[in-house]
Amino acid sequence: MRTMLVVLAMYSLAVFAEVQNAPLNLMPMPANIKMGAGQLGVDPSFSVAISGHKEPRLQRTVEIFLDHLRRQTGMLPLDMKVSDSSTGTLLIHADSRSKEVQELGEEESYRLEITSSGAKLNAPTTLGVMRGLQTFLQLVEATPAGFAAPAVNIDDKPRFPWRGLMIDAGRHFMPLDVIKRNLDGMAAVKLNVFHWHLSENQGFRVESKKFPKLHEMGSDGLYYTQGEVRDVIAYARDRGIRVTPEFDMPGHSTAWFVGYPDLASAPGPYAVERKWGVFDPAMDPTKEHTYHFLDEFIGEMAKLFPDQCFHIGGDEVNGKQWDANPQIQAFMRAHGMKTNQDLQAYFNKRVQEIVSKHGKTMIGWDEILRPELPKSIVIQSWRGQESLAQAAKQGYRSLLSHGYYIDLMWPASQHYAVDPMSDAAANLSPEESKRILGGEATMWAEYVSPENIDSRIWPRTAAIAERLWSPQNVRDVNSMYQRLEKVSHRLDFLGLTHNTGYAPMLRRIAGRNASSALQVLADVVEPVKDYTREDTAPAVPTSLTPLNRVVDAVRPESDSARQFSNMVNAFLSGKPKPGTETEIRASLTRWRDNQVELQPLAEKSFLVKEVLPLSQNLSTLGTAGLAALDYLDHDERAPEQWRSQQLALIEQAKKQQAQLLLMIAPAVQKLIEASATPGAASAAK
């Protein structure tokens, strides 16, 4: 017995060492992991046996799993199979069936045991099996002995029950294939709600049989048929994803009024909006006709979308049409309403009754939170943890989107740091805390097209998915970035284009010249952040403006710039890895000299021309960084005048050009600042 304990202790140490050496590339990180010894080979003879509860959805889940396993290992349709017998490389057991319509809070836990002789996946329902199979997929990679998954014991369940991605198909229509491949991406990182933003000023995107002028006149012909909607819902269901539709009202609704102007608060005619922003048109909350219409419409959509939740938007009504309409003003006076917020609360209450009548739970943005509304509704917060906490305290369930606006071009680390239970939400009582359902990444679509939307969603959304699934204490940013890169590459095999689309877009921009110099620049720039793109637009952007510029092709987050910054930090810390300075010098030299290569491209293509000033700044930064390194190398204090000159150039280089930011500027600034202190130089050498 004693010997065994010693062996176990030694084994644990060995496992620990192994884990340290080769952390598992899992994202989201599971709740509990115990490493085992050895690995399970995954070759063409791999098979899956299903025991326990059986249902068609489970069968399809396993087929999808095998398809993805084949893709990521480069195997063929005749390789790997579902076993008819009770034996297989991977044994799957679900205790019972999943719900006919996937529910909020439905059990998603699973237990995955992999040994060198086989694997077992146990879960209460099919839903947990889906999550466990995604973990298995992430464990398989090329090893010295073939493709294999390491021996491991994983016991896992989500932290939050609502882990969503919203795609805005209103502003720019997203074809079915875009939606489907993103559902595959969502499933890969265990997201479970696809929030489909289906109506906007710029487009009404679903076929309505009751009110056909909605899609016929409000969509420019770009809408989903009801058959396609059902197809998406079935596709999502087979991946453990609920589909919550959003029809934004009473604002953001110009596209409805093209076919049905009598819904609006001002006379028509209306045209599909082409510009971006908040506009005046809003439904008339004072006419009974409005509620008759919505009753029929919501009734139709409630049947089409089986999900329990029905999103009515409810955001950003500027109230101008209401202010200008005497009948609406009279109505408000007659009912003692003092503000447009009062009027909107009345509207929401009426709509909530309709939604409820059709058996659904209403969900809406912050603005719908008013004491008149029942506690059953769900609030989606774009305002932050403060409003999230307020809602929870008042007894409402809520989810966080503030901090997860992926259209704002933040780095993954910034989203990753946002926790639904932080700040005001950190001090909630246990009961109140339970009302925080989770969160949602929101892909607003002013500046995305089917071509570049994947690169705005992925891989950053995987970091948000980890925040919502994994234990709160999983927060190591370096580990996150390491694993994010692997997840990103795995998504390639699902047909997502965030990596593969980059080079073709740059080649188009470069025109008849080679695009390599353009890529050197593109690799270290990012689009401007937050709403700066709006503010700095060279011309008023519309839904017809091509999204083919450098700002549309580059990634929201520059890996090259982040890695350069890490190298500079390591160098200045005095404890860099060998070769760090050489790498820094090589990068700076490449940037300094790139301008000469880029210039001829700029003369040939208008799309390159607009980034020429940026390229000039890149060259300047390269030169300045190299000079600073020289001072540091020679243990020489850089003259103050030179430094202040260089820092002025850096400030200049930090300004947006062509709506792009040069992301290496801060790291070069550090080098220049360090060159004031010869001490830094000796430490760094």
Q: Which residues bind its own copies (CB under 8 A)?
A: 22, 25, 44, 71-79, 141-146, 172-173, 220, 222, 449, 451, 486, 489, 492-493, 499-501, 503-505, 507-512, 543-548, 552, 603-609
Place of tokens 């919203």: 166
Cβ proximity to its own copies, 105 vs 175, nearer residue: 175
- Phi, then psi, of 609 in degrees rounded to 5: -55, -40
460 and 557 Cβ atoms separated by less than 8 Å: yes
Nearest to 183 by CA among 259, 103, 242: 242
Cβ proximity to its own copies, 79 vs 423, nearer residue: 79
Pairing of strands 32-41, 146-156: antiparallel
Cβ proximity to its own copies, 504 vs 574, nearer residue: 504
Burial class (CB in 10 A: 0-12, 13-18, 19+), 343: buried
Give me the least distance between CB of 44 and its own copies, in Å please.
5
Burial class (CB in 10 A: 0-12, 13-18, 19+), 102: buried
Pairing of strands 110-115, 146-156: antiparallel
Helix (H, G, I), strand (E, B) or coil at 148: strand
Helix (H, G, I), strand (E, B) or coil at 320: helix
Rounded to whole angstroms, the Cα distance separating 284 from 569 reads 58
Following DSSP, what letter does each residue of 480-508 receive, concatenated? HHHHHHHHHHHHHTTT--TTTTHHHHHHH
Helices and strands (H and E) in the chain: how many: 28, 20
Rounded to whole angstroms, the Cα distance separating 521 from 614 reads 8
Rounded to whole angstroms, the Cα distance separating 340 from 322 reads 8
Q: Which residues of 268-305 are buried (b: 16+ CB within 10 A; e: fewer)?
A: eebebbeebeebbbbbbbbbeebbebbbebbbbbbebb
109 and 123 Cβ atoms separated by less than 8 Å: yes
* Cα Dmax for the chain: 89
Q: Beta strands of 276-383 (E only): which ranges?
A: 309-311, 361-365, 378-381
Give me the least distance between CB of 596 and its own copies, in Å please.
12
Cβ proximity to its own copies, 73 vs 675, nearer residue: 73
Element (H, E) at 276: none
- 3-state helix, strand and coil shares in percent for the chain, rounded to the nearest 5: 45, 15, 35
Give me the least distance between CB of 489 and its own copies, in Å please.
5
Helix (H, G, I), strand (E, B) or coil at 17: helix
Contacts 24+ apart (CB under 8 A), 597-602: 597/516, 597/517, 597/520, 598/517, 598/518, 598/520, 598/521, 600/513, 601/510, 601/511, 601/513, 601/515, 601/517, 601/518
Give me the least distance between CB of 642 and its own copies, in Å please.
31
Which residues lie across from 558 on neighbouring strands?
none
Cβ proximity to its own copies, 309 vs 612, nearer residue: 612
Query: Is 316 noted as a catalytic residue in this protein?
Result: yes
Cβ proximity to its own copies, 119 vs 510, nearer residue: 510
Which of 63, 103, 296, 316 is catalytic? The answer is: 316
Place of tokens 């399970």: 40
160 and 456 Cβ atoms separated by less than 8 Å: no
Cβ proximity to its own copies, 329 vs 563, nearer residue: 563
140 and 147 Cβ atoms separated by less than 8 Å: yes
Cβ proximity to its own copies, 4 vs 544, nearer residue: 544
Give me the least distance between CB of 368 and its own copies, in Å please.
31
- Phi, then psi, of 669 in degrees rounded to 5: -55, -45
Give me the least distance between CB of 146 and its own copies, in Å please.
5
Cβ proximity to its own copies, 603 vs 651, nearer residue: 603
224 and 206 Cβ atoms separated by less than 8 Å: yes
591 and 622 Cβ atoms separated by less than 8 Å: yes
Cβ proximity to its own copies, 172 vs 460, nearer residue: 172
Helix (H, G, I), strand (E, B) or coil at 15: helix
Token pair belonging to 200: 């906007």
125 and 96 Cβ atoms separated by less than 8 Å: yes
Cβ proximity to its own copies, 219 vs 290, nearer residue: 219
Rounded to whole angstroms, the Cα distance separating 247 from 205 reads 10
Active site residues: 316
